[in-house]
Amino acid sequence: MAVGPCSTEIQQRRVELVENYSEHLTRLLDVLFNVGAVTEEDLSFIRGSSVRGERECMRVLLDVLNGRGEESCRAFLYVLPSVQDETAKLGQPSRQNSLRKHKVILARQHGLVDYLNIRGQTLEQDEGGCWTDITFSRQAGYASSSQCRHESAGVGDAFRTRADETCIFKDIYENLLCNTTSGVNMLSGVAGSGKTTVVKRLVREWSAETNSSKIVLSLSFRELNLITQDQSLQDLLSDHYIHLKPFLPELLNSNPTQFLLILDGLDEFCYPLNFEHTPKCSDPERVQPIQSIVVNLIKGNLLPGVSIFLTSRPHAVSKVPPVLVSQFYSLLGFSVAQQKQYFEQNCSSPEAADAVWASVSSHKPLLLMCHIPAFCWIVSTALHDGGSCLYPDSISATLGDKEALEEASSSLVPSEENSKPVTISEIYCCFVKSILLFHVQGRSEGSHHTRLQHAPHVLGEMQPILKSLGAMAFKGLLERRFIFENSDLSSFNLDSTKLSQVFLSEILKEDRASLTFEKGFHFIHTSVQEFLAALYYVLQSLSGSDPFSGLKASTGYLQSAFKQMASAVNKFGRPHRLFRRRIKKALRCGERHQSGHMDLFSRFVCGLLVPRTRLILNGFFPDGPKMHLLRCQPSPDPTPPFLLHLLHSQLQSSTLSPERKVNVCHCLYEAQDPGLSQRLQSWMKVLSQQASDQSASGNKDWSELAFLLQLSPDLQVLNLDAQGLDADGLRRLLPVLPLFSTLSLGQNPLGPDGAAVLSLVLRNPDCRIQRLWVVATGLGCEGLKILVEALKENRTVTDLRMAINKIGDVGAGYLAELLRMNHTLMDIRLRDNLVTDKGAEVLMAALKENTTLEYLWMFDNKFTKDGVKKLKEFAKTRPNLDIKVCV
């Protein structure tokens, strides 16, 4: 049937019709039925879609008209003016009405369905759900830095480098929407830290505010990536916000300061931003490439005075020159207390929350990763719902051997303490298994035990889908792509509807990129994409197939047959050599990316090569449950020896950067290398020997030590005296420094820069340091001043030893200021610090206000006999204060 002009016009105007006429649907249906354009059956069919909203009913109506043919479409276009006339008689919607409609539309587009919003709510509910608090830091501008590690490796550092002012969501809201300031505000945070959730909450609270003078326009870089042709900013915004089209150009030209433009996900923008050579453009109507529009907006050429809120992951922050950023926010993620609060809110019972928290808090690598809210959600799902998946009790049921189960429970299954997932790979295995067993529609029936018994069958049944999904994830990682379209899914034989049914929103989110009204898909967290990619890679490698061959487009029959024959020859000819080569290739994937991209992928590959870990997903891998694993005592070295040899050889490489070495350590941890504890003992032996010169620090990889120390929860004293440790080395130890009760750093060239690092440690909310010994570290007055500012906030340090630091009377004045405010310090040692009688007078004056200090030792300073006499007389007035001094 030929398509007539009216049908074509409706198709071309489809977006406009849905946006502008959905609210008049009832009147439209009445008129169309009266003129015979639709039947009663059509009305019943259209109204049956009302559960999905008026807009969906309008789409169904347009489809019905298109099916009815040209006459019905002509009648529809004929009655549209009458609907407009009736609206005009009731009063043409004012600008305020359109802005109210704009708020409703934005609120609907930014629904709060996220892992930060524990109890997700529908749009009709007024309450915003149960939110776990999250903390931000704020500073003017930002300092550019190179990032050479996976961003997840620095999640804990955020709390340990909190030198800037901290703030809460309310402060950001007021700055962006209540103040008249303009310019670029940037929010940085690792994947899963809650950047998009902040944007959603910002929009929703603005939409609920009746007196806001700002107009919010929100675009994501995912949507902008879909624009392939040049266009103007005015057309871009008008097409995106059709309901504002009649007066948007006037507002943009007359008063740009009333707009807040949100650009979410700079790290996902696929076009390069050239701030030096992009032609200047101040005309919103000029047609130009999309990347030029973004550059001119950020530089303030387009819409001067507009407020811009940019969000980005850390590695892409430097795309914007620091001079253009007026306010820089960092998402610090969850503190330890907030992590515990999250588990309490997310688990079904206090007992379950306590069990999850006990498991997380007892393993420092898990605790550090849980600074990321998304990882908290993954861990909660894995431990709460799938914790019992680690050693499935269904293996013997699959084999039909009761005796095997009895022997397995006594030999393979460790004690309760050791049967909990501890590596990141085990956590993600439990997570995926939990999703498939307990959260998939149609599988929610039956007891927990019954579903575990059917786990191998379910995993075997879902293997093709998981394999295809992993292949797509792996290809995306290689291409640094995180957004996938329907065409991508089709190329991997994936059905979007089936995916939605299997994985719901807990693994995949379905996004409607509204600029072109196309579907896009992205994993809910990049770590999930990296895990599924590793799952696919290991599955292919264990099966003897090339993981890269599954990513290429299908070829002709003869070529395909030849490849299959060659693959079969390779499998039987040299399988072990090929397998090792592929694993080595996987470990090298991340080395090409300085940002640490694919570091987690390589760690997951190492973890999945451990038979104990793969056993969690029994039924998925081709090797299946090995009877010798069930009947015999676990091997003392369950990890393939070649993998450990490969990783250890990388550690010994002189060309490997410190960041790369840390990733190798993570790989060894995932591979459950028993030699990690031996490596820590070797470090302890090295640290027990004082370095002969300060240059020895260059031979020590402090980042590796920081990682190894995370694996020793019982170690309370860290003695790094005379190790040639400088400020840079101290900074590499940041993740673990707050976790020790005694921190001894004497005779190291720390200087003021080292004091700045220590100040970050002391401000950390998780700081446990009670004894801080910084003897002969070159602090001087400048370094002491930095340290004092941190000690004013610290409530853990009771013992401060800082002899031989040349603080003088100026430094004594800083300490006096501290003593007036700090009521935690009980012991201060100031031997040989060039303090004179003047400094002693200042200290005595401060001690009249301080009653908590018990020891003040000041041997070998520059006191006169009269000064010593005054100090001793003062000591007599304070029987609980032991002052030791000499001439």
Distances (CA, A) of 864 to 629, 881, 886: 77, 21, 9
Per-residue pLDDT tens digits for 661-690: 778 888 888 988 888 878 888 888 888 775
- Highest mean pLDDT, choosing among 147-156, 456-465, 547-556, 585-594: 456-465
Average pLDDT of the chain is 78
Q: How many CB atoms lie within 10 A of CB 344?
A: 17
Q: How confident is the model at residue 321 (pLDDT cuts 50, 70, 90)?
A: very high
Per-residue pLDDT tens digits for 255-271: 888 899 999 989 888 89
Tell me the three state secondary structure of residue 349. Answer: coil
pLDDT beyond 90 at 832 = yes
Per-residue pLDDT tens digits for 165-220: 778 888 888 889 887 777 899 999 877 777 888 888 899 889 888 777 789 999 98
Per-residue pLDDT tens digits for 550-583: 676 544 444 454 455 555 545 444 567 777 888 8
Q: Residue 753: its pLDDT value, please? A: 93
Q: Rg (Cα) of the chain, in Å, rounded?
A: 32
Measured CA to CA, the distance from residue 763 to residue 73 in angstroms comes to 68
**At which residue do the structure tokens 């004594």 appear?**
812
The candidate with the shortest Cα–Cα distance to 542, out of 580, 515, 506, is: 580
- DSSP-derived letter for residue 401 is -
- Compute the average pLDDT of residues 575-604: 76
Measured CA to CA, the distance from residue 49 to residue 61 in angstroms comes to 10
CB 640 within 8 Å of CB 613: no
Q: How confident is the model at residue 389 (pLDDT cuts 50, 70, 90)?
A: low
Per-residue pLDDT tens digits for 626-643: 433 333 344 444 678 888
Distances (CA, A) of 55 to 81, 506, 607: 20, 26, 47
Per-residue pLDDT tens digits for 444-477: 556 666 777 778 888 888 888 889 889 988 998 8
- Compute the average pLDDT of residues 53-73: 84
CB 840 within 8 Å of CB 869: no
Q: Residue 407: its pLDDT value, please? A: 36
- Compute the average pLDDT of residues 874-887: 86
Cα 820 to chain center, whole Å? Answer: 41
- Highest mean pLDDT, choosing among 526-530, 797-801, 820-824: 797-801
CB 380 within 8 Å of CB 356: yes
- Kindly state the tokens that stand for 410: 């006594």
Helix (H) or strand (E) segment spanning residue 675: helix 675-687
pLDDT beyond 90 at 533 = yes
Q: Residue 298: its pLDDT value, please? A: 94
Q: Residue 628: its pLDDT value, please? A: 36
CB 243 within 8 Å of CB 98: yes
- DSSP-derived letter for residue 744 is E
Per-residue pLDDT tens digits for 716-727: 889 999 998 999
pLDDT beyond 50 at 416 = no
- Kindly state the tokens that stand for 403: 């005796």
- Compute the average pLDDT of residues 509-532: 65
Q: How confident is the model at residue 831 (pLDDT cuts 50, 70, 90)?
A: very high
Provide, rounded to the nearest whole percent, the portion of the chain with pLDDT above 70. 77
Per-residue pLDDT tens digits for 344-363: 888 878 888 888 888 888 88
Q: Which residues of 813-845 are buried (b: 16+ CB within 10 A; e: fewer)?
A: bbbbbbbeebeebebbbbbbbbbebebbbbbbe
In angstroms, the first-to-last Cα distance of the chain is: 109
Measured CA to CA, the distance from residue 305 to residue 283 in angstroms comes to 14
Q: Residue 807: its pLDDT value, please? A: 93
Which amino acid is it at 222? R
The candidate with the shortest Cα–Cα distance to 799, out of 778, 822, 777, is: 822
pLDDT beyond 80 at 385 = no
Q: Residue 457: its pLDDT value, please? A: 85
Q: Residue 126: its pLDDT value, please? A: 37
Lowest mean pLDDT: which of 142-156, 787-801, 855-869?
Answer: 142-156
Torsion sign, CA atoms 817, 819, 825, 827: positive
**3-state SS string over 351-395?**
HHHHHHHHHHHCCHHHHHHCCCHHHHHHHHHHHHHCHHHCCCCCH
Positions of E strands within 669-812? 717-719, 742-744, 771-773, 799-801
Using CB atoms within 10 A of its CB, is residue 648 exposed (0-12), middle (13-18) or buried (19+)? Answer: middle
